[in-house]
Amino acid sequence: MHMLFTFIYPLFKCLLFQETDEEDLTPEERRKLERKLKKERKKEEKKLMREAGIPTKKEEPKKLSGSELALAYLTSWSKNPEEWKFQKTRQTWLLLHMYDKEKVPDEYFTILLDYLQGLQGKARDTTVQKAEALMKELDGSDAEDPSMAAGRELTFPC
């Protein structure tokens, strides 16, 4: 099919240039004409591909959600540490959602606890403060939100 275009395109170009007299064109007009020819060629190519039954649009792969990316990051950290690379956005997502059982299932929470042992600096301090505040809040209230930290171990080794 590509051979067909290599044959048709020069003929089309030749006919078009004969009508407009190539020598009279300014560089700007020549560039516009080239763009127009390219657009027409692509349009014709798509038409022929549709007629031949060949799909013209490329299927884009499904984009992963923040949750899926963060959990994959955590899994990579635990199972493949030599290829794992620190990603601040993934760590931030994990720290923000670590008490939500729907976003961080129990099987990942144990890995997350191991990951938190290596936490350093301000992220560690903030995480410990949030955990302590949550513990005080849970100790002070009789009713516990079932989606938050129910039955989760909230200890942080220092």
Residue 127 contacts residue 116 (beta carbons within 8 Å): yes
Q: Phi and psi dihedrals of 87, rounded to 5?
A: -135, 110
Residues 6 or more apart from 8 whose CB is under 8 A from it?
A: 44
> Lowest mean pLDDT: which of 53-67, 102-116, 121-135?
53-67
DSSP 100: B
DSSP 143: S
* pLDDT at res. 131: 87
- Across residues 34-49, what is the average pLDDT? 91
Its pTM stands at 0.53
Tokens of 19: 């009508």
Tokens of 71: 């959990």
* pLDDT at res. 14: 56
| Selection from 79, 1, 94, 68 nearest residue 41 by Cα | 1
Q: Where are the domains of the chain?
A: 2-52, 66-140
Q: Which amino acid is at 113?
A: L
* pLDDT at res. 158: 46
* pLDDT at res. 24: 80
Tokens of 43: 């349009």
In a 13 Å sphere around the CA of 48, the CA atoms on its Cβ side amount to 12
CA-CA distance, 115 to 79, in Å (whole number)? 12
